[in-house]
Structure 1
C-alpha cells in the first residue's frame, strides 16, 4: 500500500468556533514522509506544527495543537477527514488561530478533499500498530486497545438525556465507511452549556448551524438529526481525528466508553511515552499480499488487556 497525498491545492473559509470570526485554510499536496503539517500564518510570519500527542495544549471544547509560541484549535474534524479518507501527507495552511467549524461535522472537509483528489506517492505507507492489549481507564471512562490489522472502533456513550441515552456503534473504519457513516455526524451540546459559554465569551461561533443543540427534553435544530444515533457517530468521528495526532495512521481495535478529547489525548500520550511496549512502526507493502521488509512482524494474538 503506497502513501498518498492530495492532487490539487484547495481552500475554504468559515467561522471559527471559538472566536466567531472568519478563518481560512489552504490544503496543499505534500511529499512522502511529510505526514500532516500545519503552517500557521501569524502577524510575524509562519509557524509550523507537526502533530504529536505532547503538542496538544488544550482539549476542552476541541483539540488544540501548540508549539510553545502559536496554537491552532478545532483540528479534530479535519484530521478525521484526512485520516478517514486514507491521506498520509498533507500541508494545512491556517490563516487564523483555529480551523473553521463549518457545519460541525467532517462532511465539508471530505467534500473539499474530494475536490482536491487523492494521489499515490512512490513509497510504502507507514503505520503505527498496536502490538499488545491495553486498558486505559480514568474516572470510569476507558479506552481499550488490541492488535488488529486495520482501524476498528466499538464506541459506547451514555447520557442521561431522553434524546441520547446509551448508544453503541461498532465500525471498521475505511474511507468508504468514514464518508458514508461518520463524516456528516455533527458535534452536539446542551443549551445550558452553550448559554454559559457565550456569556463567558467562549464558543462565540457556536450556533444551530454548526451543532446539534439539546434542551432538557429535545433537539432544538429544525431539521432534527441526520442519523438516529448521530451522537455516537460524532464521538467516533472525534476519536478518529484525535488518534490522527499521533502522526502516522494508527492500527488497532479500540473499545471506547464515554471518552472525549481529554481522555483521547491522555491515552495517546501514554502510548507515545511507552511506544516500545505497545507500538510498532510498520511499512505496508505497495503490492497486495506482500510486506515491505522494514519493521513488519505478524500481529500478536489478542490477550487480556493490561490496565493503565
Structure 2
C-alpha cells in the first residue's frame, strides 16, 4: 500500500531567541499543498522571500546549518528539519520573522510538540521515497569522519562520537526506525565544551545562548573565579561542575545525550536531500559540514538514477495521449519548427514526448550534411515544446496562449543525436506553477542514454 503525503491541519507558532543572533523570533508552521516540500519564508524581509530546504542552498555550516536563496538566509535549521522528518511530514511552510530559528531548549522537542498540537493531515498524493540502492560513502580522513548509507527497507541510524575527551569519552547512539525519533532523540539537547563556550562568549558568537539550552562539558581545569564569571554572564547565583563532568545547570536526559543530539543533527541535515529516505545510515564523528556533503552525495545519486529511470521503460508504440494533429491544436508551432511528434504520457506534474529524428529534416541541409547531428539548440527547443504542452494543459483554452522562455540553466549535452534516433523527452515541474510561471527539469534520452538535460523557466501568456 502506498504511503500518502502529510502536512498539518492548521498553523501553529513558537517564540524564542536565536542561539547565535540573540534575536527574538517567531516561527510558524503552516500547512502546505501536495508536492510542496519543506520551505522557509522570511516574513520580516521585503517580498517575504522563500528559501527551499535544500542541501544545494546551504551556505554555512560553522555553528549550525544555514540555507540561502532569493537573497535571504535562515540559520540553525537542523533542529526544525529533524522535527519535520521525525513527525513523518512532507509538506510544510515555515514562516520566520528573523534570520535564525529559535533555539528553544536546544533540542527538537518543542517543535515536535507544536506539530503534534497542530494535528497531522493526510494528503492525496503518494509519497516518494529514495531507497539506498548500494553503499554510499563519505570520508574526511584528516578528521576521521566516516559516513555510509546502506540498503534497508526502513530509515535506521547509528552514530558514534569521539572528541578525545576524558570526560565525554566515546559515545554511541542509534534508532532502528524513524518512528523512535520522538521518544529517543527529539529531546536531546545541543552541547559544547567549556573552552568553546568561553571562545564564543569572548567573540560575541552566542548572543542568545543560555545555560538552559545547552549541555556544557567541562574539558579542562576550571577555577572558582571562572565559574563565578560564568554565573554572572548567565545571571545565575552560582555554577559548579557536576560529577558527570558537565556544568550543573542541568541534568542529562540520557547518559549518551551528546551522541543522541549528533544523531538528531544528522537527521535534520539529511532532510535537506528533499525526499524521504530508506536506508541504514552509520556515522563516525559526524558534523554539519560532513552531513551536508553527504546529503549532496545522496542527492546526486538520486538525480542520476531519476534521469535514467524516467525514460527507459516507455512504450513508444502505445496509443499516444496526443498525436501530431492534436499537438498542433495546442502548440502554435508548425513544420519545419514543430519538434514533438507525439505525447505518450501526461499528468499534472510531468509530460513525456517523442521526437523521431529523420534525415529529411530541413536543418540537416546545412548542419553538417556530411556528418549529420541534431543541433543542440533544437534539442532544447524540442524539450521546451514538450514542456509547453504540460504547461498549456493547465488552461482550458490552450490555443489562446503562448509559452515564452524566461531562463535556461544547467544545460548539458551528453551524447550526439543522429538521423534514425528517437528522442524521448520527459519534463517535470520542479514546483507548482505560480502566476503562469513554470520551472521544469527536462531530460532527453536516446535508448538508455541521456542525450540532453536542462532546467527551464517559462511563462504562459494569453494572446491579445
- Is TM (by shorter chain) over 0.5? yes
Aligned residue among 216, 219, 230 for 2:246:
219
Aligned to 1:228: 255
Aligned to 1:257: 284
Q: Please tell me the root mean square deviation across aligned C-alpha atoms, in Å.
A: 1.8
Mark the runs of 5 or more structure 1 residues left unpaired by the alignment: 283-308
Does the CA-based 8 Å contact 2:112-2:186 persist in structure 1? Answer: yes
C-alpha separation in 2, matches of 1:68 and 1:121:
28
1:60-79 to 2 correspondences below 5 Å: 60-67=62-69, 69-79=71-81
Q: Does 1:152 align with 2:156?
A: yes
Does the CA-based 8 Å contact 1:186-1:230 persist in structure 2? Answer: yes
Provide, for residues 112-155 of structure 1, a one-character-per-residue CA deviation record: whole Å limited to 9, x for no partner: 11111111111111122211212211122111111111111111
Aligned to 2:401: none
Aligned to 1:117: 119
| Cα displacement (A) at 1:163 | 3.2
SS of match in other structure, 2:196: helix
Provide, for residues 10-52 of structure 1, a one-character-per-residue CA deviation record: whole Å limited to 9, x for no partner: 0011010111121111111111111101111234230101122
Q: 1:243 to 1:281 in 2, by over 3 A?
A: farther
Aligned residue among 103, 106, 123 for 2:105:
103
SS of match in other structure, 2:48: strand
C-alpha separation in 1, matches of 2:12 and 2:70:
28
Provide, for residues 193-252 of structure 1, a one-character-per-residue CA deviation record: whole Å limited to 9, x for no partner: 111112112121122111001122610033320101101110111011001011121221
C-alpha separation in 1, matches of 2:177 and 2:147:
17
SS of match in other structure, 1:186: coil
Does the CA-based 8 Å contact 1:151-1:172 persist in structure 2? Answer: yes
Aligned residue among 192, 197, 200 for 1:197:
200
State the TM-score, normalized to the length of structure 1: 0.87
| Cα displacement (A) at 1:279 | 7.5
Point out the structure with max Rg over C-alpha: 2
Does the CA-based 8 Å contact 1:271-1:278 persist in structure 2? Answer: no
Aligned to 1:275: 302
Q: 1:11 to 1:280 in 2, by over 3 A?
A: farther
Q: 1:182 to 1:278 in 2, by over 3 A?
A: farther
SS of match in other structure, 2:174: strand
| Cα displacement (A) at 1:278 | 6.6
Does the CA-based 8 Å contact 1:135-1:142 persist in structure 2? Answer: yes
Aligned to 1:287: none
State the TM-score, normalized to the length of structure 2: 0.58
Does the CA-based 8 Å contact 2:44-2:96 persist in structure 1? Answer: no
**Matched residue pairs, number?**
281
Q: 1:223 to 1:79 in 2, by over 3 A?
A: same
1:1-308 to 2 correspondences below 5 Å: 1-67=3-69, 69-139=71-141, 140-175=144-179, 177-216=180-219, 218-276=245-303
